[in-house]
A and B are shown apart, each in its own frame.
Chain A
Amino acid sequence: MLAIKITKKQEFSIWNSCFLFLAALAVSLGISAVLLMMHGKSPLEGVGLLFKGAFGSPWAMEESLVKAIPIFLCSLGVATTFRLQIWNIGAEGQFALGAVGATWLALLYPDLPAFLLLPLMFLISLAAGGVWGFIPAVLKIRLRANEIIVTLMLNYIGILFLEYLVYGPWKDPVSFGFPMTTQFSAGAIVGTIGDTKINWGIVLCLAFGLFVWIMLRYSRVGYELKASGENVKAARYAGLPYDRLVLSVMIFSGALAGCAGFLEVSANLNRLQPSIIVGYGYTAIVVAWLARLNPLFIGVASFLLAGLKVGVENIQLELQVPAAFGGIMEGLILLTVLAGGFFTQYDIAIGRKG
C-alpha cells in the first residue's frame, strides 16, 4: 500500500515562495477563466484583457501605480499588526476616517496656502485613522473584546459616517443631488509628478516603507514585535510590554490607512464622495499575507494587486463582466496561497508502507 509521509521542513526558501505565488496565481486565473466561460465570454480574451489593462501600456502601468499607493499604505499597517498576531481588519474604515478628517480641513480653510493646508490635512488624517485603530486596541487590551469583530464593525460605522456627511451636511449645493462635497481649493490638492497621474504620495509610501523596514530590523520595538508575535505568553513572562505594543501598532496601522484616505481625496478625486470606498482595506489584507508581512514584498504585491484591479476594470468595460470578478480573484489567490503554504512548510514523500 502507498503511504504518504509528511515531515516538517527544516529551512524556508524564498524561491519556494515565489514558485508558490506563481502557482497560486495560475490556479486562480484558471478558475476565473472557467467563471468567464460560464458567463459566455472567451476566457483567453479575458485573461489577455486583464494583463493588457493592468501592465500593457505606460498608461496602464501608471494607473496601476496610482492604485498601488493606498493599497501599499493600508497593507504596510495591517502587516505590522499581523506580526503581533493582532488582526486589524479595519483598514477600510480607518481609510474612510482619514478621508473624512482631511476633507473637514479642506472645506473649513479653503483659503490657506498649500504649504500650510496640506501638512495639516496629512496630520489630521493620521489622527483620524489612528483613533479608529485606537478604539479596538483599547477594547482588546482592557476588556478582551475580539479585535477582528470590532475593527470590522468600525468599518461599517466609519463608511456610514462618511455617507452621512456627503449625503447631508457636506453635500455640494450645486451637485444636482449627487452625494459629494464641493471641489477642493488648489491649496488642498496634492499634486502629480510631472506629466504622469502619479501623485507625490508615492514619496510618503517610500518614507513609511523605509521607516517600517528599519524599525523591524534595527530597533528594539521591532525585536519586541517579533518576540511577542511568536509567543504572547512567553513575551509577557519575559516582561515585554505587550499591551503597549498592541496599542502602538493599531494606532500606527490606523494612521497609515488614514493617510491613504487623505491622498485619495486630495490627489485623485479632489473631493469627498462615497466612491472612494472600493475595498482597498480588504485588498491590503490579501497583499500583506501574500508578501509574508515583509515591507519590500508588500510594495511588489501592492503593485500586482492594484494591477489586478485596473485589469478587471478593463474586462468589465470590454466584456461587460460584473465588478465582483476582481474580488473573486483576490479571494482565490489568497486561498490558494494559504493552502500552498503547506508545501513550503512540509516535505511530502510517497513511498510503500511497511
Chain B
Amino acid sequence: MSPDILVPLLAAAVQSGTPILYATLGEIVTEKAGVLNLGVEGIMMMGALGGFLFSMYTGSPTMGFVAGGLFGALIAGIHGLVCLVFQGNQVVSGLALTILGSNLANYLGTPHVGHSAPGFGLLPVPYLSKIPILGRVFFMHDMLVYVSYFIPLLVWIFLRYTRWGLGLRAVGENPEAGSAAGLGVMAHRWAGVLAGGFLGGLGGAYLSLAYTHLWTNGLTAGRGWIAVALVIFAFWRPGRAVLGAYLFGGVMAFQLRLQATGTNLPSSLLLMLPYALTVVVLVLSSWKAKGGDAPAVLGVNFEPSE
C-alpha cells in the first residue's frame, strides 16, 4: 500500500480506536478490583447521550465530555448497587445494565436524532504535527485523542504505584486476605466500578462529541462489547489495551474506507469484520496466555460475613 493511503488510514485507526481505548481502560480498572461489568455497552451509550445533551444545553463540549463520564459512572453505580450491596449475579447484572443503558439512551435521545451539538474539532499539535508520518498519524486529531494518550499511563501508575491502586488490585486477587489486613473491600470495589464507568462514559462521549457530532440511536454499535473482549486481549495491562484499541480502530476505518470507495462487496459483509476479528483475537489471546494478569476472583461476590 502506498503511503498516501496508509498514513490517513493509520490516522483514522487512532481516531476510531480512541472510544474503545477509553472503555477498555475503564473495564480493566473495574475488573482489577474483581468486579466483572458486562454493561460497558450500556455505559458507553449513556455516556454518549449525556455528553451530547450537556454539550447541547451548555454549549461547552468540555462540560459535555465530563458529563458523559459522570453519566457512565452513574450507570455503573447501578451495577455496584446490585452486585456489591445486594450480592446479585455479576454476569446477569451487567447484561441487564446493557439492556437498560442502551434503551434508556435511545429513549431519551429519540427527540434529538439528527440534531448536532458543539463538539471537538481538528486541533493539530504545534511542531509535533509537522513530523513526517508520525505527525499525521498521532498529532492531527481533536483534543480528546490527545487526552486519551495520557490515560493508559495514568491507569498504569495508579494500579502499580498508588495506595488505592494497590488496594484495588488486592481486593481483586484475594478479598478475604485484604479484608483481614484491614482493607475496605467494598470501598475499593466501589472505586473500581465507578472509575471504570467514568472512563466508559468518556469513551461514549467521544463518539457523540468528536466522532459524529450528532445524535443517532444505537451509536456505539457493539464497541462496548469489543472493549470487554479487548480486556482479555490486553491481559489486563493498559499498554496492550492501546495496541488492541488501535488494531480495532484500524479495522473499522479500513471497512469504512472500502465502503466509501465503492467496492463490490456488500456493506453487510464488510460490517462483520470488526465482530469477526473480535472472535479471532479473543480466541488467540485466550489460547496463548493462561489468564495473563487476570484478577483471581473476577466476577465472584464478596459475601458479608456473619
| A residues in contact (CB < 8 Å) with B | 6-7, 35, 87, 89, 139, 143-146, 148-150, 152-154, 156-157, 160-161, 163-164, 167-168, 282, 285-286, 289, 321-328, 330-332, 334-335, 338-342, 345-346
C-alpha gap A168/B306 in the complex (Å) = 62
**Interchain CB contact under 8 A, B222 and A156:** yes
Min CB distance B250 to A, Å, is: 18
Query: Which residues does chain B contribute within 8 Å of A285, judged by CB atoms?
Result: 92, 95
**Interchain CB contact under 8 A, B96 and A334:** yes
**Interchain CB contact under 8 A, A153 and B269:** no
User: Could you give, for residues 73-110 of chain B, a 1 whenever the CB lies within 8 Å of some chain A CB and a 0 otherwise?
Assistant: 00000100110011111011101111111111011001
Query: Which residues does chain B contribute within 8 Å of A286, judged by CB atoms?
Result: 96, 99
Query: Which residues does chain B contribute within 8 Å of A168, judged by CB atoms?
Result: 266, 268
Q: Which of B153-161, B181-189, B274-282 contacts A (4 or more CB under 8 A)?
A: B274-282
Min CB distance B15 to A, Å, is: 22
Chosen A-B contacts, 13 in total, with CB atoms closer than 8 Å, are: A89-B95, A145-B283, A148-B38, A149-B229, A153-B222, A153-B229, A153-B279, A335-B82, A335-B88, A339-B82, A339-B85, A342-B85, A345-B87
The 3 closest A-B pairs by CB, nearest first: A331-B100, A327-B103, A338-B88
> In the complex where A335-B96, A338-B92 touch, is A157 in contact with B103 (Cβ < 8 A)?
no
- Tell me if B126 is interfacial: C-beta within 8 Å of chain A: no
Query: Which residues does chain A contribute within 8 Å of B87, judged by CB atoms?
Result: 341-342, 345-346
Query: Which residues does chain B contribute within 8 Å of A157, judged by CB atoms?
Result: 272, 275-276
**Interchain CB contact under 8 A, B92 and A322:** no
Partner of A324 from B88, B95, B106 at Cβ < 8 Å: B106
> In the complex where A160-B271, A324-B110, A334-B96 touch, is A339 in contact with B81 (Cβ < 8 A)?
yes
**Interchain CB contact under 8 A, B92 and A289:** yes
Query: Which residues does chain A contribute within 8 Å of B282, judged by CB atoms?
Result: 145-146, 149-150
User: Could you give, for residues 24-64 of chain B, a 1 whenever the CB lies within 8 Å of some chain A CB and a 0 otherwise?
Assistant: 00000000000000100010000000000000000000000
- Tell me if B225 is interfacial: C-beta within 8 Å of chain A: yes
**Interchain CB contact under 8 A, B276 and A327:** no
Q: What's the tally of chain B residues with a CB closer than 8 Å to chain A? A: 47
Q: From A136, which residue of chain B is reached at the shortest CB distance?
A: B279
C-alpha gap A220/B16 in the complex (Å) = 51
C-alpha gap A298/B97 in the complex (Å) = 21
C-alpha gap A143/B102 in the complex (Å) = 31
Q: From A142, which residue of chain B is reached at the shortest CB distance?
A: B287
**Interchain CB contact under 8 A, B86 and A149:** no
> In the complex where A149-B278, A324-B104, A331-B103 touch, is A338 in contact with B96 (Cβ < 8 A)?
yes
Query: Which residues does chain A contribute within 8 Å of B268, judged by CB atoms?
Result: 160-161, 163-164, 167-168
> In the complex where A143-B286, A324-B106, A328-B104 touch, is A160 in contact with B88 (Cβ < 8 A)?
no
**Interchain CB contact under 8 A, B272 and A334:** no
C-alpha gap A87/B299 in the complex (Å) = 13
**Interchain CB contact under 8 A, B283 and A139:** yes
**Interchain CB contact under 8 A, B100 and A148:** no
Query: Which residues does chain B contribute within 8 Å of A87, judged by CB atoms?
Result: 91
**Interchain CB contact under 8 A, B286 and A161:** no
**Interchain CB contact under 8 A, B304 and A6:** yes
Residue of A289, A330, A331 with highest tally of chain B CB at under 10 A: A331
Partner of A156 from B96, B107, B266, B272 at Cβ < 8 Å: B272
**Interchain CB contact under 8 A, A324 and B107:** yes
Other A-B pairs, 15, CB within 8 Å; known A157-B272, A285-B92, A342-B88: A146-B229, A149-B228, A150-B283, A154-B279, A156-B275, A160-B269, A164-B268, A167-B266, A324-B103, A324-B110, A327-B100, A328-B103, A331-B101, A335-B78, A335-B82
C-alpha gap A339/B268 in the complex (Å) = 39
Q: From A282, which residue of chain B is reached at the shortest CB distance?
A: B99
- Tell me if B194 is interfacial: C-beta within 8 Å of chain A: no
C-alpha gap A235/B92 in the complex (Å) = 23
- Tell me if B232 is interfacial: C-beta within 8 Å of chain A: yes
> In the complex where A146-B232, A342-B86 touch, is A328 in contact with B107 (Cβ < 8 A)?
yes
Query: Which residues does chain A contribute within 8 Å of B99, judged by CB atoms?
Result: 282, 286, 327, 330-331, 334
Min CB distance B222 to A, Å, is: 6
> In the complex where A145-B282, A168-B266 touch, is A338 in contact with B106 (Cβ < 8 A)?
no
Min CB distance A82 to B, Å, is: 9
Query: Which residues does chain A contribute within 8 Å of B272, judged by CB atoms?
Result: 156-157, 160-161
Query: Which residues does chain B contribute within 8 Å of A145, judged by CB atoms?
Result: 279, 282-283, 286-287
Q: From B287, which residue of chain A is reached at the shortest CB distance?
A: A143
Min CB distance B278 to A, Å, is: 5
Q: From A321, which residue of chain B is reached at the shortest CB distance?
A: B107
Min CB distance A208 to B, Å, is: 23
